[in-house]
Amino acid sequence: MALDRWIALIILMICLAYGYAAFFTMDAALPPFMKRNPVWPSTFPKVLSVMAVLAALFVLLGFEKGADDPKPMDINYRRLTEYKLGQALALLGLMAAYALLLRPAGFLPATVGFLTAGAWVLGERKLHILLPVTAGAAGVVWYLVQQVLGIFLSPWPAFLTNGG
């Protein structure tokens, strides 16, 4: 089985577990007044899990390919060392660092740092363009989440906002 089908099988298993949680366990603790709402907190996870299961099955069953012969652009697991694994692993490390630094560093510094470092890893070297773009993107996302959606998202580090 090709590498993309193995990955699709792993994603399918994860999505099935996620779907089970969304369909059978998330709504058990809902208060009675919320059970009458047309949209529950589990509605988006249910839709997401069904769509992800369908997409994983689509890849797993091979509907996205015309024939089984590997094309030059397909991922070949025998030549895995020829791909840019350093960049991929660096981006995974940056994602983990971003998740760990999001609360203590604040949304804006952590997001600007993550986007800047990620673009640097991918090869962008023009900091005079990169920094304003990442700062603007982080600011727009923060504004949408904080002001439009009404979800509190601390923009600055904890020691600057609550004094300790």
- Percentage above 90 pLDDT, the chain: 38
CA pair distance 63, 14, nearest whole angstrom: 21
Mean pLDDT of the chain: 84
Model pLDDT for residues 5-35, shown as the tens digit of each residue: 888 899 999 999 998 888 888 777 777 777 7
**What DSSP line would sit under 71-140, residue for residue?**
PTTS--GGGGGGS-HHHHHHHHHHHHHHHHHHHHH-HHHHHHHHHHHHHHHTT---HHHHHHHHHHHHHH
Model pLDDT for residues 48-69, shown as the tens digit of each residue: 999 999 999 998 887 776 555 5
CA pair distance 9, 17, nearest whole angstrom: 13
CA pair distance 108, 156, nearest whole angstrom: 6
Confidence at residue 117, expressed as pLDDT on a 0 to 100 scale: 94
